[in-house]
């Protein structure tokens, strides 16, 4: 229910209040038209005439980011299946053995290639928890890649890899479509 700030009654607002004089209403219209006539400037593209909500460049950039992210995730999943790095895989670094306990799928994005999405547990001491960073070539179109992970100068290789089918089943629904508002760059949100 509308409530008038001028007279206090319900059923109308201050702009249409019957208790206000025509001069007062005309003054408000003049003030509003002065405000509206000022040129708006978009905070995203810095062009005049629109604001961020109606920016076509921002909409196009969001669509492009989502498409690029979907392609990156598709390639990334293929690299995971080829390397055998998935939940339950046993990986080796020097003489230590680790089990992949979880994968933080939302952390895998085109703009966030140096995140730590793989959570590992050392087999000797299962109470400790660590992370492994995927190499920068995962998800890219580089054809000269080997399927081991370099983490802090040490090679990590899947000794007992997860099957491609198991890795495929562990992917969350909708992950391959590329939409990830949580990890979308701030300027595109």
Let me know: does 19 contact 7? Beta carbons within 8 Å: yes
Q: Which residue has the higher pLDDT, 185 or 166?
A: 166
Q: Is residue 55 part of a domain?
A: no
pLDDT score, position 5: 86
Q: Is residue 48 part of a domain?
A: no
CA 12 to chain centre: 43
Number of domains comprising the chain:
1
pLDDT score, position 61: 93
Q: Is residue 140 part of a domain?
A: yes
pLDDT at 184 over 70: yes
Q: Is residue 19 part of a domain?
A: no
Let me know: does 167 contact 86? Beta carbons within 8 Å: yes
User: Which pair of tokens denotes residue 16?
Assistant: 């249409």
Domain housing 140 = 72-188
pLDDT score, position 108: 84
pLDDT score, position 143: 56
Model confidence at 56, in pLDDT bands (50, 70, 90)?
A: very high
Q: Is residue 125 part of a domain?
A: yes
- For every residue of 99-159, DSSP letters joined together read EEEEE-GGG--TT-TT---EEEEESS-TT--EEEPPPTTTTS--SS--S-EEETTEEEEEE
135-153: b or e for each residue (b if 16 or more CB lie within 10 Å)?
Answer: bebbbeeeeeeebbbebee
Q: Is residue 21 part of a domain?
A: no
Q: Is residue 1 part of a domain?
A: no
Give the H or E element holding residue 98: strand 96-103
Q: Is residue 18 part of a domain?
A: no
């Amino acid at each position: 229910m509308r409530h008038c700030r001028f007279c206090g009654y319900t059923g109308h607002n201050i702009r249409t209040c019957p208790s206000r004089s025509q001069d007062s209403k005309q003054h408000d219209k003049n003030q509003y038209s002065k405000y509206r006539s000022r040129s708006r400037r978009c905070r995203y593209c810095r062009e005049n005439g629109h604001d961020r909500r109606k920016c076509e460049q921002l909409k196009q950039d969001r669509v492009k980011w989502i498409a690029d992210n979907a392609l990156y995730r598709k390639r990334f999943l293929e690299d995971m299946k080829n390397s055998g790095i998935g939940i339950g895989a046993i990986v080796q670094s020097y003489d230590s053995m680790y089990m992949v306990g979880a994968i933080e799928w939302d952390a895998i994005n085109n703009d966030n290639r140096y995140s730590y999405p793989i959570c590992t547990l050392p087999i000797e001491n299962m109470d400790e928890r660590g992370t492994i960073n995927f190499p920068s070539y995962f998800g890219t179109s580089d054809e000269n890649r080997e399927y081991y992970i370099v983490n802090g100068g040490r090679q990590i290789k899947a000794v007992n890899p997860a099957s491609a089918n198991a890795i495929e089943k562990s992917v969350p629904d909708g992950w391959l479509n590329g939409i990830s508002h949580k990890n979308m760059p701030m300027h595109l949100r």
